[in-house]
């Protein structure tokens, strides 16, 4: 089975998290699903370089990856996904959807209301734990 390595950005803005919705894509099981933005890692590119490039290409915003939150390994029917999820802060730019059909900023408590791509679901409790740990300081 083909292995695809990707990065995903958990973009925070005043404890709101950015979620984006895919449009119609090659595989129906991920079409119109919500996800954390990101994309494929290119050859000779670090994970941090990939996340910065992908978010600029997809959303027209500059982000700074702060830390790796979780790496998710998930098998879809047609490929195996390895997704490195980074906590990122937006530093500049106006959000423009170049590849997605919708974007929302949500509180952590509201993330579960969306119809997520399966690989993104395990990321949500990790975000919650991260935000709770930041509040305890």
> Strand pairing partners for 63?
90
Distance from C-alpha of 59 to C-alpha of 104, rounded to nearest angstrom:
12
134: left (phi over 0), alpha (psi -120 to 50) or beta: alpha
Q: What residues have CB less than 8 Å from 85, skipping those under 6 apart?
A: 7, 8, 9, 10, 36, 38, 68, 69, 70, 71, 72, 123, 126
Fold of 3-135: Nucleoside Triphosphate Pyrophosphohydrolase (3.90.79)
For residue range 59-80, what is the model confidence (pLDDT) as tens digits?
Answer: 999 999 999 999 999 999 999 9
For residue range 83-114, what is the model confidence (pLDDT) as tens digits?
Answer: 999 999 888 889 999 999 999 999 999 999 99
Domain ranges for the chain, please list them.
3-135
């Amino acid at each position: 089975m083909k292995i695809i390595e990707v990065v995903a950005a958990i973009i925070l803005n005043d404890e709101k998290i950015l979620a984006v919705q895919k449009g119609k894509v090659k595989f129906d099981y991920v079409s119109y699903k919500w996800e954390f933005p990101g994309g494929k890692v290119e050859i000779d590119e670090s994970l941090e370089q990939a996340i910065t490039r992908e978010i600029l290409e997809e959303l027209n915003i500059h982000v700074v990856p702060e830390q790796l939150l979780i790496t998710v390994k998930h098998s879809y029917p047609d490929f195996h996904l390895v997704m490195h999820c980074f906590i990122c802060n937006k530093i500049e730019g106006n959000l423009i959807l170049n590849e997605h059909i919708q974007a929302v900023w949500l509180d952590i408590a509201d993330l579960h209301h969306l119809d997520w791509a399966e690989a993104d679901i395990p990321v949500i409790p990790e975000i919650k734990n991260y935000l709770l740990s930041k509040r305890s300081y």
